[in-house]
Amino acid sequence: MMGRCVLITVYGLKTCDTCRKALAWLEAEGIAYRYIDVRKDGVSAKDLKRFAEAVGHEALLNKSSTTWRGLSDAQKSDLSKAAVLKLLEVHPTLMKRPVFETGKTILVGFKEPQKTALQACA
């Protein structure tokens, strides 16, 4: 068991169904969190770099998003770490979500592995 984590920070969008499900699940599990809406509150370049170092920049990029479909072919063609981080900084809605920061690890998405890791913090 991982033991207690510090307060979990959740990065997401208030309009994202998966983010809403994740927040409802956290509340039902009694897991304390603070929420950052990446569209409204933003996400810093420093945070994005930290996330990319933890999970890989490819794992952060949501290629099924409306924002991704609106990018030019040139923007979509360069998937280097630097280019992806710049895209995410300019278009935070490109970030795959939710992103959970537990103080011990960074988790992306909301499926069983993430739920198990989050429960280990509670």
CATH number at residue 113: 3.40.30.10
Residue 88 lies in a domain: yes
Residue 2 lies in a domain: no
Residue 57 lies in a domain: yes
- Which residues are catalytic, by number? 16
Residue 7, pLDDT > 50, answer yes
Residue 1 lies in a domain: no
Counted domains in the chain: 1
Domain span including residue 62: 8-119
Closest CA to 119 of 4, 38, 12: 4
pLDDT of 58-106, one tens digit each? 999 999 989 999 999 999 999 999 999 999 999 999 999 999 999 889 9
How much is the pTM? 0.91
